[in-house]
A and B are shown apart, each in its own frame.
Chain A
Amino acid sequence: MDLILISTLSMAGLGLVLGGGLVLASKKFAVENDPRVDRVLEALPGANCGACGFPGCSGLAKAIVEGKAPINACAVGGSSVSQKVASIMGVSDTGASTDKKIARVLCQGGNKEAKLKSDYRGVKSCRAASLVNGGPKGCPFACIGFGDCEKVCPFDAITMSDDGLPVIDEEKCTGCGLCVKECPKFVIALVPERNEVHVRCRATMKGRDTRDVCSMGCIACKRCEKACPFDAIHVVNNVAAIDYAKCRNCMKCVEVCPSKTITSAFAERKKAFIDDKCIGCTICAKNCPANAITGEIKKKHVVNQDICIGCGICEEKCPKGAITMERAGQKAENRCS
């Protein structure tokens, strides 16, 4: 008991003496800093993840004040931080590139879906495994599944599923992009958070070759291309690719994809609802790409919820603001794993 007391007291005393010494030294050797550096540093998230390319948040704060880094250089903080930094620096936040991005896994080739071409018994690291003839999976684009991304994520946002695929917690993901850099197969990509539809395959082999190695791969059938009302999805190099700027989360492509390569949170598909402000101008009905809105002129229009694809065009076009997009919920099965 005495020993515990003595050790605690002596350590506390030592710490006190040294700490006091440091306080005195910091007074004596104080250097005049640009006060903005400290304020910017306070505004930054303080995760020191290094995603901005500077050594920690203090490095970025200094670079921002010196004008070497843009005010929105911190991807983790997003627009809220860049606004704070902008007000400290006395410039206006243009909002450019502050559209928050998060990491998404663009592969569904888990242990069950993707065929193995070899039995890898080396170091359990994706980077190491990818050096041995491109990794153990038959598909050269597939996620290797040893979880290098899980290890590198400073925010614990990535967990490996039993199937050997990374699952990203959208709440925790800050879009710092460290996993994107870590993945030797470039399976993870940063995409705008508002986009919910993703082609989760990157295999550029011909459709049949893709099918041979993975049951979830894109077979380049182009059905999504035909189904898309907004010209937002195209098959390029034997794999479908979404133009995220054009995509409106209508999920039409998800419905038609035969191999379930394209995924989205189906349960969260939005539906249009028209309230009493409607004056029956028919603009919404004319613009609806799915012809889901019906109604006579000068009478309140109705949305057929079974046909509505939730693209939100009617909401934009309605001159009276009578249409709101809301989550219908529990409508269809959730196909996003």
Chain B
Amino acid sequence: MLKELFFIIIGSVLVNNFVFSRFLGNCPFLGVSSKTETAVGMGMATTFVLTMTAVAAYFIQNFILVPFGLAPFLQIVSFILVIASLVQLVEMVVLKISPALYNAFGIYLPLITTNCIVLAVALLIPQKNYNLIESTIFGVGAGLGFTLALILMSGIREDLEFSDVPDALKGPAIVFITAGLLAMIFLGFAGLVPL
């Protein structure tokens, strides 16, 4: 049991990292990764949303959608509903607890709603037949994987500020190249755990 959970968390953080091997959530990944401080905050907020979504998705799938036979056509609608509400909740909490963080997130906080990682986690859980604990761990893993990607990227980008980038590659171009290289590095984790 513990072994399987460990595999799930390693699998979602490293091997099948949502940003680097599934290429999901690229917008906030590139948008909020310019400073490590905001990257950590964004990662935490997304992890929270992902965990809550995973739990909610499990319950909705197994107690509403499957028993009533609605799963084939209401899955996306209901998951989006949950995700949107959860993001609203996170937004309120962040605004209350740390207005500075709220300002640093800017538009990216409400954009967690449209972060495809969140919907992907919700949709993958029924696909993989995870139970409640596995779903939660999967959500946490996905969030940690996203946070890891953000922190790695922001660290590199902070250094990039001081490096001599060729004129043609300045700005988004070098960021995309860096992201591509990181994705290739993450290929090295392939086969680390049996999936």
A binds B: yes
Q: Which A residues are closer than 8 A to B by beta carbons?
A: 3, 6-7, 10-11, 14-15, 18-19, 21-22, 25-26, 29-31, 55
Contact B64 A14 (CB under 8 A): yes
- Pick from A7, A14, A29, A31: contact of B81, CB under 8 Å: A14
Q: Mark the stretch among B69-77, B125-133, B175-183 that contacts chain A.
A: B69-77
In the docked arrangement, what's the CA distance between A29 and B98, Å? 12
Chain B residues in 8 Å Cβ range of A15: 81
Chain A residues with CB under 8 Å of B85's CB are 18-19, 21-22
- Given A6-B68, A18-B82, A22-B89, are A31 and B95 neighbors across the interface (CB < 8 Å)? yes
A3-B69, A31-B96 known; A11 vs B77 contact (CB < 8 Å): yes
The answer to whether B123 has its CB under 8 Å from any CB of chain A is: no
Shortest CB–CB separation between residue A31 and chain B, in angstroms? 5
A7 CA to B73 CA, complexed, in Å: 10
Assembly CA distance A287 to B99 (angstroms): 64
Contact A26 B64 (CB under 8 A): no
Chain A residue nearest in CB terms to B89: A25
Q: Are B106 and A55 in contact (CB under 8 A)?
A: yes
SS of A interface (majority): helix
Q: Please, which residues of chain A bring their CB within 8 A of the CB of B96?
A: 29-31
Question: B95–A18 contact, CB under 8 A?
Answer: no
Complex CA distance for A55 and B88, rounded to whole angstroms: 18
Query: What is the count of residue pairs linking A and B with beta-carbon distances less than 8 angstroms?
Result: 48
Complex CA distance for A165 and B60, rounded to whole angstroms: 52
Given contacts A7-B68, A10-B64, A29-B95, contact A18 B74 (CB under 8 A): no
- Chain A residues with CB under 8 Å of B95's CB are 29, 31
- Which residues of B lie under 8 Å from residue A22 when comparing CB positions? 85, 88-89
Chain A residues with CB below 8 A from B89, complex form: 21-22, 25
Interface centre among B64, B73, B93 (most CB of A within 10 A): B64
- A10 CA / B85 CA spacing, docked (Å): 16
| Interface residue total, chain B, C-beta cutoff 8 A | 21
Please give me the 4 A-B residue pairs with the lowest Cβ-Cβ distance, nearest first: A18-B85, A29-B96, A29-B92, A6-B68
Assess the B92–A25 pair: CB atoms within 8 A. Answer: yes
Quote the shortest CB–CB distance from B100 to chain A (angstroms). 13
Residue B184 lies at the interface, judged by CB distance under 8 Å to chain A? no
On B, residues with C-beta under 8 Å from A are 60, 64, 68-70, 73-74, 77-78, 81-82, 85, 88-89, 92-93, 95-96, 99, 106-107
User: What CA separation (Å) do A19 and B78 show in the bound complex?
Assistant: 13
**In the bound complex, CA of A3 to CA of B69 (Å):** 8
On whether the beta carbons of A10 and B107 are closer than 8 Å, the reply is: no
Minimum CB distance partner of A6 in chain B: B68
Once bound together, how far apart are the Cα atoms of A18 and B89, in whole Å? 10
Are the CB atoms of A7 and B107 closer together than 8 Å? no
- Please name all residues of chain A whose beta carbon is closer than 8 Å to the beta carbon of B93 when the two chains form the complex: 25, 29
A22 CA / B85 CA spacing, docked (Å): 7
Across the interface, do A7 and B92 meet the contact criterion of CB distance under 8 Å? no
A10 touches B92 (CB 8 A): no
Interface pairs (21), CB distance under 8 Å: A3-B70, A6-B68, A7-B68, A10-B68, A10-B70, A10-B74, A10-B78, A11-B74, A14-B60, A14-B64, A18-B81, A18-B82, A18-B85, A21-B85, A22-B85, A25-B89, A25-B92, A29-B95, A29-B96, A31-B99, A55-B107
Q: Which of B69, B85, B93 has the most CB of A within 10 A?
A: B85
Give the distance in Å from the alpha carbon of A23 to the alpha carbon of B64 in the complex.
23
Complex Cα distance A31/B74, Å?
35
Measured CB to CB, the closest approach of chain A to B118, in angstroms, equals 15
Residues of B within 8 A of A11 (CB): 74, 77-78, 81
* Closest chain B residue, CB of each to CB of A10: B64
Question: By the criterion CB–CB under 8 Å, are B106 and A7 in contact?
Answer: no
Q: Which residues of B contact A26 (CB under 8 A)?
A: 92
Given A22-B88, A22-B89, residue A7 in contact with residue B82 (CB < 8 A)? no
Who on chain A is nearest to B74 by CB?
A7
- Cα–Cα distance between A30 and B77 once the two chains are bound (Å): 28
Give the docked Cα–Cα distance between A6 and B64 (Å): 10
A15 to B64, CA, bound (A): 13
What A residues does B78 contact at CB under 8 A?
Answer: 10-11, 14
B70 contacts A6, CB within 8 Å?
A: yes
Closest residue of B by beta carbon distance from A18: B85
* Alpha-carbon separation in the docked complex, A29 to B69 (Å): 37
